[in-house]
Amino acid sequence: MTQQKIYLVGAGMAGWEGFSAKTLEIIGKAAVMIGHQRHLDIFPDFGGTKMVLGDLSELLDFLQKTDQRVVILSSGDPTFFGISRFLLRNLPKDRIEIFTNVTSMQYAFSRIKEPWDDAIFVSVHGRGMHAAVDKIVAAEKACVLTDKVNTPAAIAAELIERGAEGYEAWLCEDLGMPAEKFTRSDLRGLLESKPSDLNILILIKTYEPNLIQYPLIGIDDEEFQTSKKLITKQEVRAVTLAKLQLQDDLILWDIGAGSCSVSIEASNLMPNGRIFAVERNQQCVGFINENLKKFCARNVKLIEAQAPEGLEDLPDPDRVFIGGAGGQLEEIIDAVDKRLKQDGIIVLNAVTLDTLTKAVEFLEDHGYTVEATCVNIAKTRRLTEYKLFEAQNPVYVIAAWKENV
What is the DSSP annotation of 303-321? EES-TTTT-TTSPPPSEEE
Q: Which pLDDT does position 210 carry in this prediction?
A: 45
pLDDT band per the 50, 70, 90 thresholds, residue 15:
low
pTM metric for this prediction:
0.66
DSSP 47-90: -SEEEE---HHHHHHHHHH--S-EEEEEES-TTSSSTHHHHHHH
Average pLDDT over residues 35-49: 91
Distance, CA of 48 to CA of 30 (rounded, Å): 7
Helix ranges, 66-151 (H) = 84-90, 104-111, 130-137
Which positions ≥6 away from 120 have C-beta within 8 Å?
A: 135, 136, 139, 141, 142, 143
CATH node for 106-205: 3.30.950.10
pLDDT band per the 50, 70, 90 thresholds, residue 209:
very low
Q: Which pLDDT does position 82 carry in this prediction?
A: 83
Give the sign of the dihedral formed by CA 20, CA 26, CA 28, CA 32: negative
Planar angle of CA 285, 351, 215, nearest 5 degrees: 55
User: If DSSP codes are grouped into helix, strand and coil, which group holds residue 361?
Assistant: helix
Output Rg (C-alpha) for the chain, integer angstroms: 27
Q: What is the mean pLDDT of the chain?
A: 90
pLDDT band per the 50, 70, 90 thresholds, residue 38:
confident
pLDDT band per the 50, 70, 90 thresholds, residue 330:
very high
Answer yes or no: are the C-beta atoms of 18 and 11 closer than 8 Å.
yes
HSE, side-chain direction, 13 A CA sphere, residue 351: 12
pLDDT tens by residue, 95-148? 999 999 888 899 999 999 999 999 999 988 877 787 788 888 878 899 999 988
- β 395-401/181-186 pair status: unpaired
Domain 221-401 sits in CATH 3.40.50.150:
yes
pLDDT band per the 50, 70, 90 thresholds, residue 207:
low
Does 213 have pLDDT greater than 80?
no
Which one of 3.40.1010.10, 3.40.50.2300, 3.30.390.50, 3.20.20.20 gives the CATH number of domain 6-102?
Answer: 3.40.1010.10
Answer yes or no: are the C-beta atoms of 354 and 325 closer than 8 Å.
no
More confident residue, 11 or 375: 375
* Buried-exposed string 293-314: b where 16+ CB fall within 10 A, e elsewhere: ebbbbbbbbbbebbbbebbeeb
Q: Where are the domains of the chain?
A: 6-102, 106-205, 221-401
Determine what percent of the chain is predicted with pLDDT higher than 90.
Answer: 67
More confident residue, 207 or 7: 7
Distance, CA of 269 to CA of 250 (rounded, Å): 10
pLDDT tens by residue, 298-329? 789 999 999 999 999 999 999 999 999 988 99
Answer yes or no: are the C-beta atoms of 299 and 274 closer than 8 Å.
yes
Q: What is the DSSP letter of 385?
A: T
Average pLDDT over residues 240-255: 95
pLDDT tens by residue, 120-135? 999 888 777 877 888 8
Does 291 have pLDDT greater than 60?
yes
- β 167-173/181-186 pair status: antiparallel
